[in-house]
Amino acid sequence: MSALPFLPFTRPDIDEATIAAVADTLRSGWITTGPRCKELEQALSARFGGRPVRLANSGTVTLEFALRIAGIGPGDEVITTPMTWVATANVIQEVGATPVLVDADLATRNIDLNRVEAAITPRTRAIIPVDLAGLPVDRDRLYAIAQRHSLRVVEDAAQSIGANWNGREIGSLGDLVSFSFHPNKNMTTIEGGCLVLNNEAEARTFEKLRLQGVTRLPDGTMDVDLLGGKANLTDVAATVGLGQLARVDAFNARRRALAQRYFERLDPALGLALPLPDFKQSNWHMFQPLLPLERMRMTRAEFIEAMKAEGIGIGVHYPALHLFTLYRARGYKEGDFPVAERIGASTITLPLFPAMHDTDVDRVCDALRRVLAPVLQ
């Protein structure tokens, strides 16, 4: 066992100023949705070029609401990738539509745009691309496909706050764009997310969906004209988000520097398949090599345990979702999406978060060499 403190694969960075601001919010007497939420929505809107932004209590519900705002429902098909957190496909089922999966691209780990048009049918209504690890899907090709087939695009940008496409920040362009502010994301509201919308009519529909469909009337009464839920964010959470938003560009710069150090220090002899070295557009939400399992006398599970013994936390993001029981029940099986299956079976997430030192990266690389070198054949 390592004598050094355990190094997790991620850890949020909450500064003392944010903690003090949270205390102020708690003392204010207004702790549910209120002025801090409005302030965060306005700050995000300014970041995204003035587009309407609305907050909710998770990045999953923002995806679901995006589909509902786009009019997606029973009988419709929505294209997405099996190489994502399962929520991406689950929300399609949640609105009564059918998820149609398209394999991943091995280099980017994102949806293979070369395969998308073959999956489009007369029932296809939308595409949900996923920016895995904060590396943007090619927006030019994506929207060209969508326009040719009159499809809505719901961008699952859960991991890509601060990333950009050709210099334009993700969220400032495109159709509906959903971000997550879960604790392991590049900025957090503890739990939460937001949706970037096209106009105020869509924003008003979002507001109804997140709070029971309620419209408050000038005379103090209310009306309900659609079926909504309970998905509002609290001012306590938004206060955390405001502190994080002020620091997210610095967070992302540090992530890029740490990722560059991994490329410099990782031993090529270990045979790891490294992620695409994009230091212009990606926000480096995660650093995810693929293990050379075919050369290893060790399973991935055994590797993770060996790294844990070295004091290093390793994540898995993600298993190919079509092999989960829920999706096997829809008829999916091994061999359907070989690239996603290869990635899902061999991917590992190395420690990467802004508070890490360069020496932490060196420590991970040294531990990888100690664990992997003896078991390679």
Question: CATH no. for residue 255?
Answer: 3.90.1150.10
Q: Could you say which DSSP state residue 249 is in?
A: H
Domain harbouring 67, CATH code: 3.40.640.10
pLDDT tens figures, 259-276: 999 999 999 999 999 999
Q: 71 falls in which pLDDT band (50, 70, 90)?
A: very high
The residue type found at 273 is A
pLDDT reported for residue 363: 98
* Distant-in-sequence, close-in-space partners of 85: CB < 8 Å, separation ≥ 6: 158, 317, 318, 321
Claim to verify: residue 66 and residue 133 sit in the same structural domain: yes
In a domain, 230, yes or no: yes
Exactly one of 185, 208, 230, 280 is catalytic; which is it? Answer: 185
Claim to verify: residue 116 and residue 238 sit in the same structural domain: yes
Domain count across the chain: 2
pLDDT reported for residue 256: 98
In a domain, 9, yes or no: no
Claim to verify: residue 187 and residue 268 sit in the same structural domain: no
State which of 188, 219, 245 marks the end of a domain: 245
pLDDT tens figures, 138-184: 999 999 999 999 999 999 999 999 999 999 999 999 999 999 999 99
pTM over 0.85: yes
In a domain, 185, yes or no: yes
Mean pLDDT of 238-256: 98
State which of 210, 229, 245 marks the end of a domain: 245
Question: Where in the chain does DSSP place strands (E)?
Answer: 53-56, 77-80, 98-101, 124-127, 152-156, 164-165, 168-169, 176-180, 193-196, 214-216, 222-224
- 13: pLDDT strictly greater than 90: yes
Claim to verify: residue 142 and residue 156 sit in the same structural domain: yes
Claim to verify: residue 169 and residue 203 sit in the same structural domain: yes
State which of 213, 245, 277 marks the end of a domain: 245
pLDDT tens figures, 103-136: 999 999 999 999 999 999 999 999 999 999 999 9
In a domain, 1, yes or no: no
Claim to verify: residue 74 and residue 144 sit in the same structural domain: yes
What are the distances in angstroms from CA 336 to CA 35, 102, 109, 210, 332?
48, 9, 16, 36, 7
In a domain, 271, yes or no: yes
pLDDT reported for residue 2: 77
Claim to verify: residue 23 and residue 104 sit in the same structural domain: yes
Q: Which domain holds residue 327?
A: 248-375
Claim to verify: residue 350 and residue 314 sit in the same structural domain: yes
Residue 185 appears among annotated catalytic residues? yes
Claim to verify: residue 371 and residue 356 sit in the same structural domain: yes
Average confidence score pLDDT of the chain: 98
Claim to verify: residue 120 and residue 83 sit in the same structural domain: yes
In a domain, 5, yes or no: no
Of all residues in the chain, the percent with pLDDT exceeding 70 is 100
pLDDT reported for residue 1: 67
Claim to verify: residue 217 and residue 297 sit in the same structural domain: no
In a domain, 7, yes or no: no
Q: 86 falls in which pLDDT band (50, 70, 90)?
A: very high
Claim to verify: residue 259 and residue 231 sit in the same structural domain: no
Mean pLDDT of 306-330: 98
